[in-house]
Amino acid sequence: MERPAWAPPGIDISVPSVSRIYDYYLGGSHNFEVDREAARKAMEFVPGLPKVMQANRAFMRRAVRYAVGEGVTQFLDIGSGIPTFGNVHEVAQAADPGARVLYVDHDPVAVAHSGAVLEGNENAGVVAADLRKPQDILDAPEAGRLLDLDRPVALLLVSVLHFVEDADEPRRAVAELRDALAPGSLLIISHAAYEGIPLPQERVGGAVGVYRDIRNPLVMRTREEISGFFDGFEMVEPGLVKMPEWRPENAVDQEDPYAFSGFAGVGRKA
């Protein structure tokens, strides 16, 4: 298997990665055949997966613009993945050139590629760390350089919590991050759920099985379970809803039912 020039040395390109599979769904070019194979396998069960990812990205961009509109110009994006067009720093800095963004991911490809994309951007950086160890994120020198934790921060956990199993205590991680943030900070979450996917649960289970087989279990949670992540935050209108229904900029397009898979919401720390 040929190693492309952009692949960081030392990574195993024979093992699929969640962030590269996501990159493939979004039409990106930073993925290997092993990632494309896993993605196609999952799409055999749930053909609308790329549409789900697009709805997810569109929600993220609206939430970032909302944050800037609310005067929050610091962003901590955990599980940020491989930067594709319209990433957090682009959206935030288009709205406010002084906006600061810290990306965090544990995938070396995502980190290396983010570093390359952000070169020369003084107000953005990337840290190799894991959501399950919040203190490592908060203690990182880049976090100290970019984020003033005495002022509100928008914490993005977009399409990442469903890759953290309950045994790894995702609620504790979110609570630890919440406690480190100033009042007025925002929590931006999107999360996979069986609810809303226009297919029987057994069929969707096939796609979930693909992720389990690549040792990246996809944890489908109910709306109620997802809302538990917002403990200590006040939900911003319209609450926890389907992704296209969160403050749409145009009339909600009902055409593609896959866009309505899972939930998204924003909370504000009192």
Enumerate the domain spans of the chain.
48-199+221-269
Mean of the per-residue pLDDT values of the chain: 95
Tokens of 251: 């009339």
Q: β-strand 263-269 against 186-191: which pairing, if any?
A: antiparallel
Q: β-strand 154-158 against 233-235: which pairing, if any?
A: unpaired
Tokens of 184: 């007025």
Please determine, for residue 103, whether its predicted confidence score (pLDDT) is greater than 80.
Answer: yes
pLDDT attached to residue 113: 87
Q: Which range is least confidently modeled, 75-84, 129-138, 246-255, 260-269?
A: 246-255
Do 76 and 185 touch, CB atoms closer than 8 A?
Answer: no
Tokens of 79: 């599980």
- Kindly report the CATH class assigned to 48-199+221-269: alpha beta
pTM, to two decimals: 0.95
Please determine, for residue 114, whether its predicted confidence score (pLDDT) is greater than 90.
Answer: yes
The kind and range of the H/E element at 155 are: strand 154-158
**What stretches of 149-200 show up as alpha helix (H) in DSSP?**
170-180
Residue with the bigger pLDDT between 58 and 83: it is: 58
Tokens of 168: 């790894």
pLDDT band at 13 (very low <50, low <70, confident <90, very high): confident
Residue with the bigger pLDDT between 254 and 211: it is: 211
pLDDT attached to residue 170: 98
pLDDT attached to residue 239: 98
Each residue's pLDDT tens digit, 159-178? 999 999 999 999 999 999 99
Do 157 and 131 touch, CB atoms closer than 8 A?
Answer: yes
Tokens of 118: 């952000």
pLDDT band at 1 (very low <50, low <70, confident <90, very high): low
Do 188 and 160 touch, CB atoms closer than 8 A?
Answer: no
pLDDT attached to residue 191: 98
Residue with the bigger pLDDT between 260 and 250: it is: 260
pLDDT attached to residue 241: 98
Return the ∠ at Cα 229 (arms to 268 and 140), rounded to 5°. 80
**Alpha-carbon distance values, 155 to 79, 152, 187, 188, 265 (Å):** 11, 9, 5, 6, 12
Please determine, for residue 259, whether its predicted confidence score (pLDDT) is greater than 80.
Answer: yes
- Using CA atoms, how far apart are residues 216 and 169, in angstroms rounded to an integer? 16
- Using CA atoms, how far apart are residues 202 and 218, in angstroms rounded to an integer? 14
